[in-house]
Copies of this chain bind each other. A is one copy, B any other.
Amino acid sequence: MLEALKEKVWRANLELQKKGLVLYTWGNASEILREEGLVVIKPSGVPYEELRPESMVVVDLDGKIVEGSLRPSVDTKIHLDLYKFFPEIGGVVHTHSTYACAWAQACRDIPCLGGTHADYFFGPIPCTRPLSEEEVERSFEGDTGKVIAERFVGIKPLEVPGVLVAYHGPFTWGKDADEAVFHSVVLEEIARMSWLTLAVNPRVIPLSPKMLEKRYFRKHGKDAHYGQGSLH
């Protein structure tokens, strides 16, 4: 079972590069086996060309390496925290994709400005508060999961499947690693489109709540009527 998952997580990581979201080694995808409490994640700083399914690292929810000879991603603690805070998710992705990072560095939520956004994110894409000096001192990896969770009070993680970490970059998630990758790609495109929209009309009014609701639930939930019953 772990072999199949390593292969799947490996492919998900390669897909990030194929979609143009990562430069060098700046991205990582993981997936969790909920029952076993095991997470398969990319190793730290290994060039994508050298990655193999067997390079993937298996850790438990405390971050202890269960299988694999390489060190896991430096962002592993954040992945694990997300799995703990959001029990309904099964895959996590982090990248430094350019437009999403620009919004994260600008410390701004991405407002919902149109249908492309509303089709996949049910509301603005939140940006976390910056870490305090004390949090940074303690370990910014350690508290990043916490500040993400703070922003999701009252938001269902699978309805807003991504976040911008201030001064850092985007994290996305989904039912599994593939869906988390998909949301990464969509988030980058939304970040770009919204950036361009604001530039051409800085006073634009976000989508109305009614329209947001209509668009989002056209693709999601029990009354969805998009696609052939498949994922997207």
Contact = CB atoms under 8 A, between A and B. Distances in A.
Interface of A: 23-26, 43-46, 70-71, 74, 96, 98-99, 101-108, 113-116, 130-131, 133, 136-137, 139-140, 167-169, 182, 185-186, 189, 192-201, 204-205, 207-208, 210-211, 214-215, 218, 225-228, 230, 232
Contacts of A133: 208, 210
B43 A98 contact: no
A199 B199 contact: yes
Nearest to A215: B140
- Stoichiometry, as copies per complex, reads 4
A-B pairs, top 10 by smallest CB distance, nearest first, are A45-B227, A106-B201, A102-B196, A105-B114, A105-B197, A105-B113, A115-B168, A102-B197, A106-B200, A114-B167
A157 to B, nearest CB: 21
A105 B204 contact: yes
Nearest to A118: B167
A114 B104 contact: yes
A186 B76 CA distance: 23
A182 to B, nearest CB: 8
